Amino acid sequence: MKTGVAIIGAGPAGFLLGHLLRAEGIECVVVERAAPEYVLGRIRAGVLEQTTTDLLRRLGLHERLDAEGLVEAGFCLADGERLIRIDTQALTGKTVTVYGQTEVTRDLMDAAPARGLEVIYNAGDVTLHDIESDAPSVTFTHNGVAQRIEARFIAGCDGFHGPSRRAIPARAGREVERVYPFGWLGILADVPPCHDELIYANHERGFALASLRSKARSRYYIDVPMTEDVANWPDDRLWDELAVRLGPEAAAGMTRGPAIEKSIAQLRSYVFEPMRHGSLFLAGDAAHIVPPTGAKGLNLAASDVTYLSDALIGWFKRHDNDAIAGYSARALARVWKCERFSWSLTRLMHRFPGDGPFERAMQVAELDYIANSVAAQTAIAENYVGLPL
């Protein structure tokens, strides 16, 4: 098979890129290792920046987003006692929208056939070839048959563990990484949220986040050591801990219920740069990971593919080599700023091993400063709603 762009991975990055290219009539094929049900089964953050909702709108994929997404005019930081509201709408004129990543993926998946976006699921042994040439290819097995896609470019949208980034020789790039010494234990439950806006709390006992998927489905997290076992956290213990860490106001509004899902995820900051090697471009988690504090993962994937689609459309329509050459630097400028924000919010809201009374006092002082400074609130709000593209 021959195509213009072979896209590896049918997560948000791969799907969005595929739709953006098809909207301009550019030939592309998405190759995905997993089955569609698996792709839709992943539970991840659900806070969309306006740049991301604008992108879905531009693609005409906003019907369910408009009907079911919850527009949030602000969010809260908490210091264990009080809630510090960051009024993003008043401070920046922008909002975020709560709409689960699962729902975004479902909308992209459902729209693919009608828009001529071919997705090959259940592809085994996906391997990249000749990425330093002008004629790269991707091989894989499908239903036991060996397949090859010859393309002009490959887009590596295959997440942190996919083969694309690994196809780049180590000498051609650098990895920058911080692995945090804790994870987030998350619980998803069909109960109304405790508050209509997100609450990120830093309590003496540790971090907690109150989030939501809808008016009837809540998502909460606490931080735990990575050595912790989910089995040590029966629902009641987790609800009790959340009520303490989130503070009295949130606890008063909290409805408890059985977990639909409960799991622990490692926190990591990671960047591979540059995001291009020869005919291979990386986008989304394939190139970078942010800790979930601030919910930037999906939004960064969306900004990457906005830049990448611009570059590829420029090349296919106008033979514009500069756009292709500029992709990595353009994407990384935004990636590093989002890495900084996610890291700084993580540092502010978590207790790190080795932190003592001094570090705690610094966090309390910073939260108090934020509570009383419009300038500090504006800096946080600008990053939270999404930096301009």
Q: Minimal distance in Å, beta carbon 128 to ligand APR?
A: 10
Backbone angles phi, psi at 233, to 5 degrees: -120, 70
19 touching ligand APR, by CB under 6 A: no
Instruction: By CB under 6 A, name the one of 47, 83, 123, 199 that touches ligand PHB.
Output: 47
Strands 206-214 and 199-203: antiparallel
Q: Minimal distance in Å, beta carbon 183 to ligand APR?
A: 14
End-to-end CA distance of the chain: 35
288 touching ligand APR, by CB under 6 A: no
DSSP string, 137-205: EEEEEETTEEEEEE-SEEEE---TTSHHHHTS-GGG-EEEEEEEEEEEEEEEESS--SSSS-EEEEETT
Do residues 99 and 68 lie in contact, with contact meaning Cβ atoms separated by under 8 Å?
yes
Do residues 61 and 355 lie in contact, with contact meaning Cβ atoms separated by under 8 Å?
no
DSSP E strand stretches across the chain: 5-8, 28-31, 47-48, 70-72, 75-78, 83-86, 96-98, 118-120, 124-129, 137-142, 145-150, 153-156, 174-189, 199-203, 206-214, 217-224, 259-273, 276-277, 280-282, 288-289
46 touching ligand PHB, by CB under 6 A: yes
33 touching ligand APR, by CB under 6 A: yes
294 touching ligand PHB, by CB under 6 A: yes
What is the footprint of ligand PHB within residues 174-213 (CB under 6 A)? Answer: 198, 209, 211
CB-based burial label for 303 (10 Å; 0-12, 13-18, 19+) = buried
Residue 15 three-state SS: helix
Q: Minimal distance in Å, beta carbon 41 to ligand PHB?
A: 15
- The label of the residue with tokens 């471009």 reads 281
Q: Which among ligand APR, ligand PHB, none contacts residue 294 (Cβ within 5 to 8 A by kind)?
A: ligand PHB
Kindly list the distances between the CA atom of residue 298 and the CA atoms of 44, 249, 342, in Å, as whole numbers in the listed order.
Answer: 9, 30, 13
158 touching ligand APR, by CB under 6 A: yes
Among 199, 246, 176, which Cα is nearest to 85's? Answer: 199
Q: Which among ligand APR, ligand PHB, none contacts residue 13 (Cβ within 5 to 8 A by kind)?
A: ligand APR
Instruction: By CB under 6 A, name the one of 17, 91, 126, 242 that touches ligand APR.
Output: 126
163 touching ligand PHB, by CB under 6 A: no
Binding mask 263-292 for ligand PHB (x = CB under 6 A): -----------------------------x
Instruction: By CB under 6 A, name the one of 7, 201, 210, 295 that touches ligand PHB.
Output: 295
Q: How far from the centroid of its chain's Cα atoms is residue 175's Cα? A: 19
Residue 309 three-state SS: helix
Instruction: By CB under 6 A, name the one of 52, 105, 279, 293 that touches ligand PHB.
Output: 293
Q: Which among ligand APR, ligand PHB, none contacts residue 26 (Cβ within 5 to 8 A by kind)?
A: none
Q: Which among ligand APR, ligand PHB, none contacts residue 275 (Cβ within 5 to 8 A by kind)?
A: none
Residue 82 three-state SS: coil
Q: Which among ligand APR, ligand PHB, none contacts residue 211 (Cβ within 5 to 8 A by kind)?
A: ligand PHB
Instruction: By CB under 6 A, name the one of 219, 277, 330, 350 that touches ligand PHB.
Output: 219
46 touching ligand APR, by CB under 6 A: no
Rounded to whole angstroms, the Cα distance separating 110 from 114 reads: 8
Q: Which among ligand APR, ligand PHB, none contacts residue 11 (Cβ within 5 to 8 A by kind)?
A: ligand APR
Q: Which stretch binds ligand APR (CB under 6 A): 28-36, 80-88, 109-117, 331-339?
A: 28-36
Closest residue to ligand PHB using C-beta atoms: 211
Among 150, 149, 169, 167, which Cα is nearest to 158's? Answer: 167
Among 281, 19, 268, 246, which Cα is nearest to 136's? Answer: 281
Nearer to ligand PHB by Cβ, of 198 and 289: the residue is 198
Backbone angles phi, psi at 213, to 5 degrees: -110, -30
Nearer to ligand APR by Cβ, of 5 and 298: the residue is 298
Contact set with ligand PHB (CB under 6 A): 45-47, 198, 209, 211, 219, 292-295
Contact set with ligand APR (CB under 6 A): 8-14, 31-34, 39, 44-45, 101, 123, 126, 157-159, 161-163, 284-286, 297-298, 301
